[in-house]
Structure 1
Amino acid sequence: MTVESVTYNRITSPRNLINVGVFTAVYFVVLFAGGMLGILNPVMVLLGALAGTVVNAMVCMLYVAKTRALGAYTLLGLVIGLLMVATGHAWVTPILSTGLGLLADLITRAGGYTRTSTNALGFAVFSVWCVGPVLPVLWGSEEYFADMARRMGQDYADTFRELATPAVIGGWVVLVFLVAFGCALVGVRVLHKHFERAGVA
């Protein structure tokens, strides 16, 4: 299928609004499950986000295939960002997740929602939003770690302080991007092989 032959949909159609609700819920459940690994150890905060990215690659590839509409990632990012703030994370998170969602929308639309490279790149760009909750480390670390100590204990906060250096956070963002891109490539192939044949996508 060529980019020119793709039929674009409206994100505000009833069907797509349902898709936004369903896939946002699934995305958040996967994200929450990965985030829960952080209870075990501060290192798992970062590894849990990576695990969630791996699973959500397939979720988002199916989401893009089902909606094929500008605004899909933007709405996903907005809702997820607001949910993160509601669960105690940094205020900057919805700004970052919504902005990257818009950029991901533009990338996937440029490929007509069918080009493997742009679908994978859109997801990879969007996935970088997960740095939002830890960004306060860069400008308000004392308050951030004091709050973490109240919630998780002083030892946990001290360990995370040693881990969450700007260099580590920067490297982690790059790793998230690469893992997201690679998993999305696999997700597109799985989508073509199984879901499209079954008429799901």
Structure 2
Amino acid sequence: MKPSGKELIQVGIFTAIYVVIYMIFNAAGAFSPVLQVFTGPIATVVNGITFMLFLARIHHAVCIEIMALILSVLMVVMGHHPITLLTALIAGGIAWWLASDRSAVTGWRSIFSYAFFSLWPIGAYLPLLFMRDAVLAETASQMGAEWTRVYASLMSGPMLAVLTVLCFVAGLLGGLLGRSVLQKSFVKAGLA
């Protein structure tokens, strides 16, 4: 079944909220490359509330895939590598599958759904593995030589694996936070 017009409006609203929170935290990464490692996972934890409320407001799990696609298109338009589209579709697809059992919206499947969904931005870092020199040259033109030097020394292959694990763990924590806030506040207020 296709999502309703009301659900598509929910996708738009919650995607906008998600992007604003994501961008606020990630803007701090411009101050220091070291912050890049922490701001994404912190944004992921906070956005757990957004995702869980979104999950409670939709009836078709395909809306998760639509949200992931919109997020990745926005990031590509803002300069991320197009591989972000692929990682978002894969992460969103797994999240969609996990959330497709609507009876599990408040259970562990919803938390794991968000944890996998939270891996969508990893595509922005993958080009460092196969086109590192070009990425760093572009970064240097935007952020300066010293910022890029620290960034290059920090963002090694093993560090990208650590960042992926951090995003997944942040997704689990964000899912737990979101589920807790959803049950304690939004359900009582009649918003979910």
Measured in 1, the distance between the counterparts of 2:178 and 2:26 equals 22
Measured in 2, the distance between the counterparts of 1:197 and 1:116 equals 18
Q: Residue 131 of structure 2 aligns with which residue?
A: 140
Contact 1:116 1:185 in 2 (8 A): no
Contact 2:8 2:63 in 1 (8 A): no
For these two proteins, the number of residue pairs brought into alignment is 192
Q: What's the C-alpha RMSD, in Å, of the aligned pairs? A: 1.3
Gaps of 5+ in 1: 1-9
Q: Residue 171 of structure 2 aligns with which residue?
A: 180
Name the SS for the 1:80 alignment partner: helix
Provide Cα deviations, 1:89-131, integer angstroms capped at 9, x if missing partner.
1110011112211110110123634242000000000101121
Q: Point out 4+ residue stretches in structure 1 off by more than 4 angstroms.
A: none
For residues 39-188 of structure 1, what are the structure 2 equivalents within 5 Å? 39-110=30-101, 112-188=103-179
Gaps of 5+ in 2: none
Measured in 2, the distance between the counterparts of 1:12 and 1:109 equals 13
Taking structure 1 as the reference length, what is the TM-score of the superposition? 0.91
Measured in 1, the distance between the counterparts of 2:37 and 2:45 equals 13
Provide Cα deviations, 1:26-68, integer angstroms capped at 9, x if missing partner.
0111111111011110011221111210111000000000003
Measured in 1, the distance between the counterparts of 2:22 and 2:180 equals 23
Measured in 2, the distance between the counterparts of 1:89 and 1:162 equals 20
Pairing partner for 2:21 from 27, 30, 37: 30
Contact 1:65 1:113 in 2 (8 A): no
Taking structure 2 as the reference length, what is the TM-score of the superposition? 0.96
Measured in 2, the distance between the counterparts of 1:19 and 1:111 equals 17
AA of the residue aligned to 2:172: F
